Structures are given as C-alpha cells and as structure tokens.
Amino acid sequence: MSKRLYLLVLSTLLVACSGSTEDVRVTLCKDLVSEITAETVEASWDQEQMKFNGYEDMEVAISFTQSGTLGKISCFYPYDAVEENAMTQSDPASAHATYPSLVKFNNKAINSSELAKMINRVLLKQGKQAEKKGQEVIKTSVEELKIPGTD
C-alpha cells in the first residue's frame, strides 16, 4: 500500500473513531435543550450529574443558562442490561439505554410522541455534523497528500 493511500485510510478511520469523550446520553440531553428551546444561542452548561438508581432509570440532570435564562433538563434512561458484567461494573451508564424514555424540561415532562420527534431531529443533526467533519478531514488529508505539480 502506498504511503499516501495508507495516510488517507488512517485519517478516515481517525474521523470515524474520534470525537467527544462525553457520554452519549449527556450529549443527547444537551442537544435536546437547543431543540426544545429553538434557540440559536449556545447554552452554557452549569452543572451536569448522572444519577444511578440500581436497576431503575438513570437520570442525567443538567443545569444550564441560555440567553440569560436559567434552565434544567433531566433525561431518564431505562436500565437495559441483560446481565451484570465487567463492562457494567466499570461503566454503570453502559447498563442503560442510549435513548431516553422520559425527558423533563424545567420539571415539566415532554409528551412521548413529541419527544420521539425531537430525538429524531437531534440525531439527524448529529449525523450531518459527523458527516461534515469527516468530509473536512478527508479533504484536508487529500490536500496534504498531493504531490506539488501533479494537480
């Protein structure tokens, strides 16, 4: 395999594997804030907490400020593990679903059908952002691999 091809494949794999180290449940909960408020202004995250309740729903509670207004979102993720194992022992969040069964925004529950629509819109946005980032990295990698004078 040529060095250029190797670097291109490597950079593509890095795009697929790189990203935030934040738990996906926290990220989804944060992204729901923008979807619920329809604000274009980024929220500042004041406090986030994951509360584990044994075999019950795990709560991701996040306090934020957006456009000068304080808010709170709580996303509840059902326990989803078939059995306890080393993974669920070392990372208790992995025993819970990645799709919330209930979301409370400023202590008010969101209707489940409306929540499903919001989550679908958020996931589509996340997918488009990942695709755009991947395209940018590949474009940059290709540009770096070009040999001068071979356009």
Q: What is the pLDDT of residues 75-127, one digit of tens each?
A: 999 998 877 777 777 788 888 888 999 999 999 999 999 999 999 999 999 88
pLDDT at position 41 over 90: no
12 compared with 26, residue with greater pLDDT: 26
pLDDT at position 13 over 70: no
User: d(Cα 82, Cα 68) in Å, to the nearest integer?
Assistant: 43
pLDDT mean over 27-31: 94
Look at residue 31 in the predicted model and tell me its pLDDT: 94
> Comparing 1-15, 43-57, 74-88, 131-145, which segment has the lowest mean pLDDT?
1-15
Look at residue 91 in the predicted model and tell me its pLDDT: 81
pLDDT at position 15 over 70: no
pTM: 0.74
Across the chain, what does the average pLDDT equal? 84
